[in-house]
Amino acid sequence: MSKFQISFDHRREAQERLEQAGGWIDYKKKGLPVFCFPNAQAKKKYIKLGQAAYRRKVEM
C-alpha cells in the first residue's frame, strides 16, 4: 500500500469525506478497493474530517 492510500470504508459518510478531501476509490491487483489521495495533504484532510465527524457524533 502506498503512503497515500488507506483501507476502503464502505460507509457512505466516509466516501463523502473522501470526495471532500479530493480522494478517489481505486482497486488493488486482487480487486480489493482502497481510498487513494493525490498527496499527503489530502490524506490528512480526510483524516481530520473523520475526526471532526466523530467528535460531533460523540457530543450528541
Structure confidence by residue, pLDDT tens digits, 18-42: 999 999 999 999 999 999 999 999 9
pTM of the model: 0.86
Q: What is the mean pLDDT of the chain?
A: 94
Q: Which helix (H) or strand (E) holds 47?
A: helix 40-59
What pLDDT is stored for residue 12 in this prediction? Answer: 97
Q: Cell triple for residue 32?
A: 480489493
User: What's the pLDDT at 2?
Assistant: 64
Backbone angles phi, psi at 28, to 5 degrees: -75, 175
pLDDT of the residue at 31: 95
Q: Considering the chain, what percentage of its residues have pLDDT values greater than 70?
A: 95
